[in-house]
Structure 1
Amino acid sequence: MIKLLEGLFDSNEKQLKKIQLIVNEINSLEEEMSKLSDEKLKKKTEEFRKILNVDLEQSRKDFYELSREELKKILDEEKKVLREILPQAFAVVREASKRVANHRHFDVQAMAGYVLFDNKVAELFTGEGKTLAANMPLYLYALTGRGAHLVTVNDYLARRDAEWNGHILNSLGMTVAAINSGTQYRYITDEEVLKLKGDEGKELIEQREKKAKEAGRLKYDHMSGVNLIECSKKEAYDCDVVYGTNNEYGFDYLRDNMVASLAERVQGPRYFAIVDEADSILIDEARTPLIISTSAEASNEMYKQFANLAKSLQKEKHYTVDEKSNSVSLNDEGIDAVEKLLKVKNVYENAQLAYHLDNALKAKELYKLDDEYMIKDGEVLIVDEFTGRALPGRRYSEGLHQAIEAKEGVEVKRESRTMATITLQNYFRLYSYLSGMTGTALTEAEEFASIYNLDTIVVPTNRPVVRKDYNDVVYRTMMGKFEAIVEDIKEHNAKGQPILVGTTSVEKSEALSMMLSKEGIAHEVLNAKHHEREAKIVSEAGQKGAVTIATNMAGRGTDIALGEGVKEAGGLYIIGSERHESRRIDNQLRGRAGRQGDPGESKFFVSFEDELMRLFGGERMQAVMTQAGLEDDMPISMGILGKTIENAQKKVEAHNYDIRKRLVEYDDVLNKQRNIIYDLRAKVLEISSERKETEEISLEKDIKYTTNLDIENLQDILDGFAVTKKDTWDIQQLEGLKFKLNPLDISILKKLLEYIDMLVQAQLEDDMEIDNIEERNLYIQVKNLLTEEIFEKGVKDLSFKNSIEFFRSLEGKSITDISKELKRLIFVSYIEHIYSIGVEPMRELSKVLILQGIDRYWMEHLDNMQDLREGISLRNLAQRDPLVEYKNEGFRLFDSMLRSIDENTVSRFFKVRVVRNQSPLQAPIQTEKEEVRSLTDNRPGNVSKQQTVKRSKKVGRNDPCPCGSGKKYKKCHYPEFE
């Protein structure tokens, strides 16, 4: 490990020297840029785009119209040009920042900007201005017109950074927006603010300018949202530079792949992204998949029953808890007790009982109130273990959330079924170019490289770090530790030094708050219950005498400015109330002090009862200290303790890395399947969005080939069906005749004909006889496929009295001939169906049928893959590699799903009807036995209501004409009435 780090540092230094040469070139352009007028500086954007030969309308379309190979070739060539104009572009952004915000990018920020452009992770020390460094590469990539995304950890930072950088980037002609989980915003100029917001806007602008003047520059905390206005999500994504949260970007990708038309897609191409706090988003949160779900039909009573059952069981007596593996296991006595209470012989014979029992015990022992979750307004909210923030709308899957709700006695909501899911790891790997920035990346350099193919560069600080980091102090008990923390706070607070205390849970932050209140020490608490005031609390945490308690890294991204007289008092004092399982997160907490060369101090307090110590040998050490007669509040200082803590952290880090690495390997299987399904879905939408016939098929060539019919057999079929509505068609005139069909229609026709081949092969082994049971089965299958009405019309079109006569005509024929005759019937019925519904409604019908099949069976497939994933580890017992088995079984399930989609489309095609006298978009498509819900909007909250359909009897083309002439309808008034 030491050699690895030495190698990284050597490589880091070499790369920094190369980057410094580019920074020198940027600096050499500074004087030239400073002489340009504001207008000429803005025109630089147009000049750069001319060099790039950018077609703003086409640039985003390339991602949908070109193959991956063609797109990569274009982007690679484009990247070379971007690299050439980089010094000038960065110099332009620096000059714009000087004029608009009165802030010149430091050389180290320009270095970080280059690292981000070069698609690496930049470790930029806390407080060095990562957000400002990012606007250089964001501007450069946005010149292509393909859009540049910055990913941050919460909605507030997305809005704040979009507004702050909007002032700079908009002065160069760039549009800027913020993507939030609720409302979306785009940046507008002060002139637009005055027009839209009047006196209120004028007052807010004046306040901002006054603060900027007093501070000497425009700062983040001067942002009040005055330059942001609400917009649609599509408008936001259409902007040049977009700020948003990792979750919202991911969910928008999933939602875009659930829409019913291309016009509903919002996100656009995933071209370039910078992930702020990359360690938090790409590593800490990588284990949690993004899931869009729908309610499942399931009773919640069993959750309540098993919650009560779990309460009656006792730890150690009935079950054991393994916190390292996050599992609870019943022992023999526990199994007997459960089976007695449930009155069953074997609880594990019933998968449903075992499922509820496991969740109830996990909810009881492994998920604690105000630690893993909190309750607000009668709702169980997950608390992010890394930030301490509540996560509204997020729920544990597989029934665990319901088990916790039952435990806490709140309303148990329905279970959910997954409609779409993706991990953040695989979402961000969708981008053509990805970069990251954080204050703590080096310890995770190996993971960034192996999973995301991102190298890590440590960028030097603008000023030397002078913070004092003290050794850990260790106490025997947690109570002794907290009492020592309170005493330490009193001591430093007495001299006016601001203090920030980091805790690992809501529960511990509130316990410490109560102890400080008893001592009469004024303080602020920042946790999941007080997140609304997060930015304000953190921004004031550096004022003289301030005491702030925060869970983990809540407030991350908000600058803690030191107040008057604080530097003389020693700067910000950081207290870590517990060592986190990751050294990196401890370093993040420490990094809140000592920014930009400011003084500061940090110290961690640890006890043998802390979770990390308890899981990795703390109990043994505590027993030794107890025997030695040490008091609770007596600090212990031993070299072996520091090594024990570090080793414990390394073990957890290695364990979590293995989990994430394994997660990627398993999710790659589903990721490949997801790409196939989403590509298929996009293709369906793309074809159906064309308003003209996108493909013409020749009756002579394509239909003959598809149906395997002789051209002479098509004469009766063609009568009355041609698009020009001619009365008859001469066989000799067929060459060159084109029958206009949408490719989706053709796809369904081919699936129907393939289905007939499969049906014949499956049902018949030899020539047919009328009493043969295989013939009867085939008859029933074809009848079910067509519906009785269409079946009878089809055989009459082929000059048979009824379906029985048609099937008797197949007696004695070969399987090939039988298949050919049935295909003639299907083809007749298919053309009849098109004309009975209409060309445009048929186009919508084809789309809806295929999309519904994809969505329905993809959702089932996700359930099946989850079930497979949960049980696949048991293959180890048979000496088989679970991952290999998962891949093989997953392929089989996926292949089965694709067949089910085709069979669903075929089986429903002839059963659909369209309600007349409505616009195509409003017309609900229905089957004889079931409602087919419109997919005009697949997003939550849009459910079409079932309607009663009344239809007039349709006259078949071979039926007598209603006019009474005695002629067939198709030879008489059919063309006029159609």
Structure 2
Amino acid sequence: MQRLKNRAQRFLQRPGTTVDLAPLQKVLPEIEALEDELKELDDAALTERAAEATQVAEICALGREAARRALDERPYDVQLLGVLAMLGGSVAEMATGEGKTLTAAIAAYGHVRSNNGPVHVLTVNDYLARRDAEWMEPVYKLLGLSVGWVTESSTPEERRAAYASDVTYASVSEAGFDYLRDQLVTDVDARVQGALATAIVDEADSILIDEARVPMVLAGAVAGEHDPVHVAAGVVKGLRSGRHYEIADDGRSVAFTSTGLAVVERKLGGIDLYDDEHVEQLSAVNVALHAHALLHRDVDYIVRNGAVELVDEMRGRVAQRRRWPDGLQAAVEAKEGLDATAEGEVLGTITVQAYIALYPTVCGMTATAVLVGEQLREYFKLEVAVIPPNTPCIRVDEPDRIYATRQEKEDALVAEIALSHEKGRPVLVGTLDVKESESLAKALDAAGIPANVLNAKNDDEEAAIIAEAGKFGAVTVSTQMAGRGVDIRLGGSDQSDRERVAELGGLYVLGGGRHHSRRVDDQLRGRAGRQGDPGASAFFVSLEDDLIQRNAPDAIPASPRMNFDGLVTDEQVDYAVEHAQRVSEGVQHEIHRNTWRYSVVIEQQRKALSERRERVLTSDVTAEMLKTRSSEKAEELVELDEELLPRVSRSIALYHIDRLWAEHLAELSEVREGVHLRALGRLDPLDEFHRAAVPAFNALIPAIEERTIETFEENEFDKDWAPDDKTLVRPSATWTYLVHDNPFGSELDRLVAAVGRRLSAGGNN
């Protein structure tokens, strides 16, 4: 019976169970019963009442009344269901345009009143953090709450003030960076963030699943850093695919041919690259080859203002402050003839997943959560509450149109756009990458169709472009729509042509290909049919698309049935496209799970060391140790000045904790990269990683104590001693960045992916 139930759930694309809304719906009459009473209160009385509310129904009723007065918007019952779901610690799935921003604001108020504050509303970017905070501020003010926001440009003082508010809006990366910086302060008063209590996660599937394994990094300058990759980039430049190197079918790995290896070794002076003394050069050459052969400008990255900027695959926009790991960033910079940007020594790091887990209370909202319901439960113990739309969706989702080649797909797309444009029906086209968006824009221009283009190169203009995408006659070409944060209203932002556009069928959304996740496709579809508007969607797919070539090339029949224009009409091909997408999702899930297994031990160690550091920072525990281990010198300092020993001991111990943790992280990084080789000897790589990581950490605490005593005994201290003395040299500069997923994965990740594809293919035979 259970097996039948699971099969039915998979068929309905609703993995696992979702939250039962019946108990939440029973609260709605209680909320409505309070409405007339609250309307009679003046603003001051409403604020006073809001400061005393403790019951859920009253909290929701006050939130509804505050929104009505402050924004002239009365939240729908379904929005209040979303509030109730988030107050219950769930992820609310609410369709695009259903008012998630206001729903989150009322939920934030509810968590503060439930003593779950302060509340951090975590967004996908700085733009949304500031916009939503300023937009909702009048609501919070009426409810008697303070609100602040943090962006990359915020000063430490501005950050401290923002986090002191009842509700703080910040991108998840900025909040994570502030946490990392706070972990390295040498003075309690230098902290900015304060205690973590409740996180409301916007675009929850994107942040909690897609970005979960992304490490946030605090780095410091290292003296004498050198860059062998630039030399290697010059060596591989000009090498040709098929002759000098061969690319794997999945496009994720590349290897030199014997001819290519001979050319490279000759260019490097006739050396043997596989000799032990040339290990560093071999590594640099391989990284340079990956950058040369597998990473493509305007697909994986763009070059803007003299810098390489990574493109976020899930959102089609620049991934702010992200770097590829393991020298790959420097290799791409070298490939493009740019100076290498410093990577620095890692002083502290935490994954998005581990950072979110630090909040005792987590909830969230998104338009597409059900498809990752099992993962949300597995990693965060979060359930999904599917909130129905206020007005039923009447959007027409047409079947995919599959073409043999990319060119035939683009030609068909242009023809379809031309048909709608001729009538004045607005069209939104979602493309797979920057290069494709620009190619389509050129084709439209050649056909005499003006189009607005939104991609990673002009994402600062996104709000204005998206807001007018529903205007009569508008054609908008955009990379992925997930997290765009702006509603598309029929007739444009002023809705002047609303009725005319509605009569034409509303917004027509066209996908330029299936993405690697059904959720991204659904985010794009969801831009049409907003709040009961008419609309339609269709996806144009090519058998040459990377998704199919990488994940299901063997599922395509040798001679599929097709029309003269290249349109494929073969059920087996329809299946292959769906199969390719599911394989891709499965592979990403397995890589996520595999990566997290390694991160768990590092996170446990980070927490343990963080607790020790906190004791050192906030007590005299180190001074007491020195009185025991180096009593004579400790007594001298006490006689000189009672405050000198605690100050000196604290500074020395904090320095060595931070220094040894940085060294430990570097060691674990090397172990992690090399551990896959042990799999060749039939050893479990995870066991081998633990076998190296655990003893290394166990040796850390004694080493910190020994170095602290050594530094204390070897140096002289007087009343004027300061911690920036030359004996405790901290990095001259620090900076933050996110480590973008290596697009090829580690060797182990690639092994996991390959096995995942084989198992998936076998399970569908």
Shift of 1:913: 3.6
Distance 2:164 2:697 in 1: 35
Write the mapping of 1:645-794 to structure 2, written as runs, cut at 5 A: 645-687=577-619, 742-750=620-628, 753=629
Write the mapping of 1:550-629 to structure 2, written as runs, cut at 5 A: 550-553=478-481, 556-563=484-491, 564=497, 565-618=500-553, 621=556, 624=559
Taking a change above 3 Å as real, the CA distance of residues 348 and 598 of structure 1, as seen in their structure-2 partners, is farther
Taking a change above 3 Å as real, the CA distance of residues 357 and 544 of structure 1, as seen in their structure-2 partners, is same
Instruction: Report the counterpart of residue 15 of structure 1 in structure 2.
Output: 20
1:46 pairs with one of 44, 51, 57? 51
Taking a change above 3 Å as real, the CA distance of residues 471 and 934 of structure 1, as seen in their structure-2 partners, is closer
Residue 646 of structure 1 aligns with an amino acid whose one-letter code is: E
Residue 170 of structure 1 aligns with an amino acid whose one-letter code is: K
Distance 1:360 1:938 in 2: 28
Taking a change above 3 Å as real, the CA distance of residues 862 and 555 of structure 1, as seen in their structure-2 partners, is closer
Residue 643 of structure 2 aligns with an amino acid whose one-letter code is: E
Instruction: Report the counterpart of residue 279 of structure 1 in structure 2.
Output: 205
- Structure 1, unaligned stretches of length 5 or more? 49-81, 185-229, 688-741, 754-825, 942-978
Distance 1:877 1:267 in 2: 45
Instruction: Report the counterpart of residue 933 of structure 1 in structure 2.
Output: 729
Distance 2:165 2:358 in 1: 20
Taking a change above 3 Å as real, the CA distance of residues 392 and 107 of structure 1, as seen in their structure-2 partners, is closer
Residue 138 of structure 2 aligns with an amino acid whose one-letter code is: H
Say if 1:608 and 1:614, in contact at 8 Å, map to a contact too.
yes
Is 1:529 the counterpart of 2:457 in the alignment? Answer: yes
Helix, strand or coil: the match of 1:567?
A: helix
2:165 pairs with one of 211, 229, 239? 239
Shift of 1:887: 1.7
Instruction: Report the counterpart of residue 190 of structure 2 in structure 1.
Output: 264
Say if 1:845 and 1:925, in contact at 8 Å, map to a contact too.
no
Shift of 1:42: 0.8
Q: Considering only CA atoms, is the larger Rg found in Structure 1 or Structure 2?
A: 1
Distance 2:730 2:271 in 1: 45
Helix, strand or coil: the match of 1:347?
A: coil
1:178 pairs with one of 132, 135, 149? 149
Distance 2:102 2:562 in 1: 55
Is 1:103 the counterpart of 2:38 in the alignment? Answer: no
Distance 1:924 1:177 in 2: 33
Shift of 1:839: 2.9
Say if 1:576 and 1:589, in contact at 8 Å, map to a contact too.
yes
Shift of 1:296: 3.5
Taking a change above 3 Å as real, the CA distance of residues 665 and 20 of structure 1, as seen in their structure-2 partners, is same
Distance 2:639 2:49 in 1: 58
Shift of 1:317: 3.1
Distance 1:645 1:434 in 2: 35
Instruction: Report the counterpart of residue 832 of structure 1 in structure 2.
Output: 636
Deviates more, 1:348-357 or 1:460-469: 348-357
Residue 831 of structure 1 aligns with an amino acid whose one-letter code is: E
Deviations 1:247-274 (CA, angstroms, capped at 9, x unpaired): 1111111111011111111111211111
Say if 2:507 and 2:528, in contact at 8 Å, map to a contact too.
yes
Distance 2:362 2:723 in 1: 43
Is 1:406 the counterpart of 2:370 in the alignment? Answer: no
Helix, strand or coil: the match of 1:676?
A: helix
Distance 2:466 2:483 in 1: 6
Shift of 1:324: 3.5
Shift of 1:346: 4.4
Distance 1:482 1:234 in 2: 51
Distance 2:644 2:248 in 1: 59
Helix, strand or coil: the match of 2:21?
A: helix
Say if 2:396 and 2:536, in contact at 8 Å, map to a contact too.
yes
Instruction: Report the counterpart of residue 75 of structure 1 in structure 2.
Output: none
Deviations 1:137-195 (CA, angstroms, capped at 9, x unpaired): 210111227311111111111111111211111111100111111137xxxxxxxxxxx
Distance 2:209 2:735 in 1: 30
Q: Give the TM-score taking structure 2 as reference length.
A: 0.90
Shift of 1:874: 2.2
Taking a change above 3 Å as real, the CA distance of residues 326 and 288 of structure 1, as seen in their structure-2 partners, is farther
Deviations 1:547-593 (CA, angstroms, capped at 9, x unpaired): 11111126621111111121111111101001101111111100010
Write the mapping of 1:419-568 to structure 2, written as runs, cut at 5 A: 419-553=347-481, 556-563=484-491, 564=497, 565-568=500-503
Say if 1:234 and 1:267, in contact at 8 Å, map to a contact too.
yes
Helix, strand or coil: the match of 2:544?
A: coil
Shift of 1:14: 7.4
Is 1:370 the counterpart of 2:291 in the alignment? Answer: no
Distance 2:625 2:224 in 1: 37
Deviations 1:831-880 (CA, angstroms, capped at 9, x unpaired): 224445x3333322111101110111111111111111111122223332
Say if 1:534 and 1:554, in contact at 8 Å, map to a contact too.
no
Is 1:897 the counterpart of 2:700 in the alignment? Answer: yes
Taking a change above 3 Å as real, the CA distance of residues 13 and 285 of structure 1, as seen in their structure-2 partners, is closer
Using CA pairs under 8 Å that are at least 6 residues apart, name the structure with larger relative contact order, 1 or 2.
2
Deviations 1:923-970 (CA, angstroms, capped at 9, x unpaired): 3554xxx542379x98559xxxxxxxxxxxxxxxxxxxxxxxxxxxxx
Shift of 1:98: 1.2
Helix, strand or coil: the match of 1:566?
A: helix
Helix, strand or coil: the match of 2:148?
A: strand
Shift of 1:111: 0.7
Distance 2:525 2:604 in 1: 41
Is 1:308 the counterpart of 2:247 in the alignment? Answer: no
Helix, strand or coil: the match of 1:286?
A: coil
1:113 pairs with one of 78, 83, 86? 83
Taking a change above 3 Å as real, the CA distance of residues 41 and 418 of structure 1, as seen in their structure-2 partners, is same
Say if 2:251 and 2:294, in contact at 8 Å, map to a contact too.
no
Distance 1:828 1:246 in 2: 49
Instruction: Report the counterpart of residue 161 of structure 1 in structure 2.
Output: 132
Instruction: Report the counterpart of residue 123 of structure 1 in structure 2.
Output: 93
Residue 328 of structure 1 aligns with an amino acid whose one-letter code is: V
Say if 2:18 and 2:384, in contact at 8 Å, map to a contact too.
no
> RMSD of aligned C-alpha atoms?
2.4
Is 1:877 the counterpart of 2:680 in the alignment? Answer: yes
Residue 112 of structure 2 aligns with an amino acid whose one-letter code is: A
Distance 2:368 2:229 in 1: 42
Taking a change above 3 Å as real, the CA distance of residues 287 and 9 of structure 1, as seen in their structure-2 partners, is closer
Distance 2:225 2:724 in 1: 31
Residue 120 of structure 1 aligns with an amino acid whose one-letter code is: S
Deviations 1:81-117 (CA, angstroms, capped at 9, x unpaired): x6xx111111111111112212111111111111111
1:150 pairs with one of 117, 121, 126? 121
Shift of 1:637: 2.3
Taking a change above 3 Å as real, the CA distance of residues 357 and 9 of structure 1, as seen in their structure-2 partners, is closer
Helix, strand or coil: the match of 1:369?
A: coil
Count of matched residue positions in the alignment of Structure 1 and Structure 2: 721
Residue 671 of structure 1 aligns with an amino acid whose one-letter code is: E
Is 1:344 the counterpart of 2:315 in the alignment? Answer: no
Shift of 1:623: 5.7
2:247 pairs with one of 284, 306, 321? 321
Distance 1:847 1:31 in 2: 60
Instruction: Report the counterpart of residue 61 of structure 2 in structure 1.
Output: 91
Say if 1:501 and 1:576, in contact at 8 Å, map to a contact too.
yes
Taking a change above 3 Å as real, the CA distance of residues 620 and 33 of structure 1, as seen in their structure-2 partners, is closer
Taking a change above 3 Å as real, the CA distance of residues 456 and 554 of structure 1, as seen in their structure-2 partners, is closer
Q: Give the TM-score taking structure 1 as reference length.
A: 0.71
Say if 1:924 and 1:934, in contact at 8 Å, map to a contact too.
no
Distance 2:57 2:688 in 1: 51
Say if 1:374 and 1:383, in contact at 8 Å, map to a contact too.
yes
Taking a change above 3 Å as real, the CA distance of residues 938 and 309 of structure 1, as seen in their structure-2 partners, is closer
Residue 444 of structure 1 aligns with an amino acid whose one-letter code is: V
Taking a change above 3 Å as real, the CA distance of residues 886 and 844 of structure 1, as seen in their structure-2 partners, is same
Residue 150 of structure 2 aligns with an amino acid whose one-letter code is: I
Instruction: Report the counterpart of residue 212 of structure 1 in structure 2.
Output: none
Say if 2:119 and 2:198, in contact at 8 Å, map to a contact too.
yes
Helix, strand or coil: the match of 1:15?
A: coil
Instruction: Report the counterpart of residue 972 of structure 1 in structure 2.
Output: none
Taking a change above 3 Å as real, the CA distance of residues 536 and 443 of structure 1, as seen in their structure-2 partners, is same
